[in-house]
Structure formats: C-alpha cells, structure tokens
C-alpha cells in the first residue's frame, strides 16, 4: 500500500469518525436540549444521554423521563465540583434506569402496638405449649408442671402486651428526642417480669375446669394451631412486630 493510499484511508477514517461524532451530538441535542446539559462534563453528558435513551427504550413516559433527567442534571452540576461522576453517584446506567422505573422506595410502615402484642402473644403461647408438651412427655405429674390452660392463655396475653410495650419504649432509644435513660429501661424490664410472675402465680391457683391441664399431644396440637394462625396473619394481613 502506497503512502498516498494510507493518507487517503486515514483521512477517510477521520471524516467517518467526525460524522459519527456529529451524529451522536445531534442525537444528544435531540434527546436532551443542549441548554439543559450546560455545566456538565462530557462524561456526565454522555451518561445522561445513554440514560435518557435507555429510559425511552424501556417505554418510560416522556414526562417522567424528563423529570428524572432534569433532577439528576441539577444534582450533577453540584456534585461534579467535588469530582463525583454520574456513574459514581447513581451506579451504572442500567441500575439507574431500573431505580427510576421502580420509583422511590416506600418507607416501611411502623407496626401498631396491637399488632406487635398479638404477634408476640402468639409466639409466647406457642412456646409455652411446646414446653408443656415436652415436660409432660417426660413427667407423669403433668398437673404439677404447669398451671393449666387458663394460666397458659393469660400469661401469653400479658407477655405479648408487655413485650410490645417494651419494644416500643426500647425503640425510643434510637430517637434522641424521645430517648429514655438506660436505668429506666432496666427498671421497666424488671417491672414487666414481676407483673408476669405475679399473674402466673395468681392464675395458676384458679381451680376447676377453667384451668384444667391436658395431655402432651393436646399442647403439641395447640402449638401447631398457634403457628398456623400466626403464619396466616403474617401472609394475609402483613402482621409484623416481633423479633422473629
């Protein structure tokens, strides 16, 4: 190949590259007005162009696309002064596209006191049933092991209410405005334990059919039922609130 041909090829390649760059620039200006991109670095301009094109390919409405792009451009103008690029700030174009399509993450709804109490009450009921079933299987003197069904229900309810209140107060420790001293948290824990033991002792003394004891298999079945009820409530109604 002669030098003349090499020069011609080089010149032709340069012209092609120039036309491609001009075409790309025209596409950018068509997709996002040049005035909107003023103040951005070339790298960030390219990022915004590719993002806008991908949003368009994904079928994102023009109004939503324009709002997202305009907000990002404003933020980028400020951040790039600190040397932060669009890819560092938003991730890859694909990741940012998915985030825009998905929309802002919804703030987790804080569970109500009663949902927490119900959830923890079911857990305690289930745990007591398992314990009674296990102890009863190894002991013939089952009546001496527990205080009966009324004791089981009442103590589970009190435990659920108490734990829900404790979680609520303990949650305040993350909020400086509502934070309570650590010694008060310990005092509250001790008070809840005393209340629970007192209730257990008093209800356990209730005689007769109201507080009868059952065979281990009955407690095992009750534990399964409690687990099923809690599972259904969590699945169907989104019951939340415990540490489990």
State the pLDDT at residue 243: 46
What is the pLDDT averaged over residues 223-241? 83
As a dihedral over the C-alpha atoms of residue 133, residue 134, residue 140, residue 143, rounded to 10 degrees, the angle is -50
Q: Rounded CA gap, 206 and 139, in Å?
A: 22
Q: Rounded CA gap, 85 and 93, in Å?
A: 12
State the pLDDT at residue 32: 61
Closest CA to 44 of 18, 75, 7: 75
State the pLDDT at residue 215: 83
104-156 pLDDT, tens digit each = 766 666 778 888 888 989 999 999 899 888 887 777 665 455 568 888 899 99
**Residue 223 — pLDDT band, cuts 50, 70, 90?**
very high
Average pLDDT, the chain: 77
State the pLDDT at residue 224: 94
- What region does 106 belong to: left with phi over 0, alpha with psi -120 to 50, or beta? beta
pLDDT at 79 over 50: yes
34-69 pLDDT, tens digit each = 556 777 888 888 888 888 888 888 888 888 888 888
State the pLDDT at residue 6: 61
Q: What is the pTM of this model?
A: 0.53
State the pLDDT at residue 244: 45
State the pLDDT at residue 133: 85
Structure tokens at 150: 């009324």
Percent of the chain at pLDDT > 90 equals 8
State the pLDDT at residue 20: 56
Backbone angles phi, psi at 83, to 5 degrees: 80, 15
State the pLDDT at residue 83: 82
State the pLDDT at residue 222: 93
State the pLDDT at residue 144: 54
pLDDT at 177 over 90: no
6-34 pLDDT, tens digit each = 665 666 666 665 555 554 554 444 456 55
Closest CA to 124 of 223, 233, 210, 219: 223
């Amino acid at each position: 190949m002669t030098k003349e041909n090499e020069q011609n090829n080089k010149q032709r390649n340069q012209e092609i590259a120039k036309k491609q760059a001009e075409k790309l620039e025209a596409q950018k200006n068509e997709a996002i007005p040049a005035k909107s991109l003023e103040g951005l670095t070339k790298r960030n301009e390219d990022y915004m162009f590719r993002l806008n094109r991908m949003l368009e390919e994904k079928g994102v409405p023009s109004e939503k696309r324009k709002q997202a792009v305009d907000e990002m451009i404003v933020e980028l103008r400020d951040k790039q002064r600190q040397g932060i690029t669009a890819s560092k700030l938003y991730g890859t174009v694909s990741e940012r596209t998915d985030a825009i399509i998905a929309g802002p993450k919804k703030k987790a709804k804080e569970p109500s006191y009663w949902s927490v109490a119900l959830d923890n009450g079911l857990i305690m009921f289930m745990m007591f049933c398992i314990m009674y079933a296990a102890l009863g299987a190894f002991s013939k003197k089952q009546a001496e092991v527990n205080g009966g069904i009324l004791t089981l229900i009442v103590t589970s309810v009190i435990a659920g209410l108490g734990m829900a209140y404790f979680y609520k107060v303990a949650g305040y420790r993350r909020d400086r405005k509502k934070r309570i001293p650590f010694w008060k948290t310990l005092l509250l824990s001790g008070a809840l334990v005393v209340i629970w033991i007192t209730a257990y002792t008093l209800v356990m003394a209730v005689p007769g059919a109201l507080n009868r004891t059952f065979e281990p298999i009955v407690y095992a079945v009750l534990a399964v039922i409690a687990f099923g009820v809690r599972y259904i409530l969590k699945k169907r109604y989104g019951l939340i609130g415990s540490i489990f």
